[in-house]
Amino acid sequence: MVVFLIYGMALFAAGIMLSGMGEGPNWGFIAFGSPVSVTGLVFSILAVWLLFGFLLAANFYGWAAALLIAHYVMAPVAVMLNHANSWQEEWLLLMKIVQLDPMTTVVLLLIYASGQILAWYWVIAGLSHSRTA
Amino acid sequence: MRQSVTTSITRLRLLSVVLGLCVSRCSVAVAQAQTQDTVIYYHTDAIGSVRMITDANGQVIARYDYLPFGESWAPLSNRDVRQFAGKERDAETGLDYFGARYYSSAIGRFTTADSAVVLSDTLQSPQRWNKYTYVSNNPMRKVDPDGRWERDVHYELTRVLAEAAGFGADEAAHIARADQFTDDNPATSPMGMLPFGEAVERRARWHFTAGPRRRELWTQFKSTGSFDDLGIFLHAEQDSFSHVGFSARFGQVPSFVVNGTDLKAVDKTAHKPERADAMARDTYAWLLKASGSRMRVHWSVLEPYVRRFNRALPGEKDRILEELERQIGDQ
């Protein structure tokens, strides 16, 4: 649970950084907090990953898997519902921030990806363990 | 090399003034020749169109003239890549690349629809119902920097206020372009992912400025008299209203406490219209100071339009500024 609280905090910081310190797109901020971010709540990222950590700690592996799948499926919906400007403007801002600092973008995406790998590893391990037990 | 280029730019600016040409902005491009570098200079007009190219000796290599929508006035003798509005013209298709879309100067339309148009905004502005039009069919007064809709405060409002303050239409557009370019230029952009390093410095120098820095920018304008410098100063001055309470290090990030995930909300005039009203009045005061004794319109005439502008949706803003421009024309 603590691991995913830290992961959530890291993604919250990553979302803020991808927003170019408030001058760029808010897509990262919203996508990392999917599915809760469909509500537009600012602390969605922390809520999602804290909940995920709780589900793992409570051995609800099926629910944890469902939350991960909902995270991927609902991400485009959350972005669609919450983008601050027009699609095109947000997209151009995203391209601009990525071009300004490609290395940091890669590092942030690696943080996200490594957390996802860890999440799926624990979910699959938990599911197979409960099946054999 | 950098030293010689800087010297050349200074010489070129002097040359532009001496010639008294319709040249409002100078930039330099270095073309790589096979054996030796060749320096050429682009001379652009108020909307960024390349009107003349000169070599290092000031000899004219090519001249270009355009009709309002970008069609060439006469057959081009020397086809350079950068042409109408400073955009690259594709040699095979003849289309201009505006960043977000391709534009055909032959028909005065973009080749694809503007996906940035929001239906509710266009209801107030019939010229925007057609998603393929260029600058709402008003190319004499407007410029489209990248194929997206026009920018409201830093470009549009500044341009109209500059005209009201007594600047000519070309001069006003030049000031407004320099103001907007402070956001668009990577060297001065406020964007950056990290709360330290170059991005913080850029924000502190051009966007989240303290009083002494703005005085420095004003002094810079007074010493050069350049409209570029005036635009840069106005940008910092205007931002000082919307960025109150924020620091260069963390930018507008703290605004999430109030505005949620829309961190750019503080940049919108309708967010705090009273503050935007004060910003517009301050901008006008500085423009009057910059224009000397050329005042044309009293603030009391402008104020009702500016107040409506600051509270309007993007689609309505165009219409309000058009009304204001007509009012200024009548004065």
pLDDT band at A24 (very low <50, low <70, confident <90, very high): confident
CA A105, CA A102: separation in Å to the nearest integer?
A: 5
Q: Give tens-digit pLDDT for B227-269.
A: 999 999 999 999 999 888 888 888 888 877 777 777 777 778 8
Instruction: Report pLDDT for B18.
Output: 38
pLDDT band at A35 (very low <50, low <70, confident <90, very high): very high
CA B218, CA B239: separation in Å to the nearest integer?
A: 15
Cβ–Cβ gap A17/B263 under 8 Å? no
Instruction: Report pLDDT for A123.
Output: 94
Kindly report the average pLDDT of chain A as a whole number: 89
Cβ–Cβ gap B118/A86 under 8 Å? yes
Minimum CA–CA partner of B184 in chain A = A96
Closest CA to B179 of B104, B287, B273: B287
CA B166, CA B296: separation in Å to the nearest integer?
A: 5
Of A21, A87, A92, which is closest to B192 when you measure between CB atoms? A21
Determine what percent of chain A is predicted with pLDDT higher than 70. Answer: 97
Which range has the worst mean pLDDT, A80-84, B52-56, B211-215?
A: A80-84
Kindly report the average pLDDT of chain B as a whole number: 78
The residues near A41 (Cβ < 8 Å, ≥ 6 apart) are A33, A47, B260
Q: Number of A:B CB contacts under 8 A? A: 100
Quick check: A12 pLDDT over 50?
yes
Determine the residue among B261, B268, B313 to mutate to test chain A binding: the one whose Cβ has the most chain A Cβ atoms within 10 Å. B261
Per-residue b or e along A76-88, where b marks 16 or more CB atoms closer than 10 Å to that residue's CB: eebbeebbbbbeb
The residues near B262 (Cβ < 8 Å, ≥ 6 apart) are A26, A84
Per-residue b or e along B279-297, where b marks 16 or more CB atoms closer than 10 Å to that residue's CB: bbeebbebbbebbeeeeeb
CA A11, CA A115: separation in Å to the nearest integer?
A: 10
Quick check: B1 pLDDT over 70?
no
What is chain A's Cα-based Rg? Answer: 15
Of A22, A96, A101, which is closest to B264 when you measure between CB atoms? A22
Contact map slice: B 292-331 vs A, CB within 8 A: none
Determine what percent of chain B is predicted with pLDDT higher than 90. Answer: 23
Of B191, B246, B261, which is closest to A96 when you measure between CB atoms? B191
- Cβ neighbours of B314 in A, within 8 Å: none
Fill in the amino acid letter for A123.
V
Report, as an integer, the average pLDDT of B66-70.
83
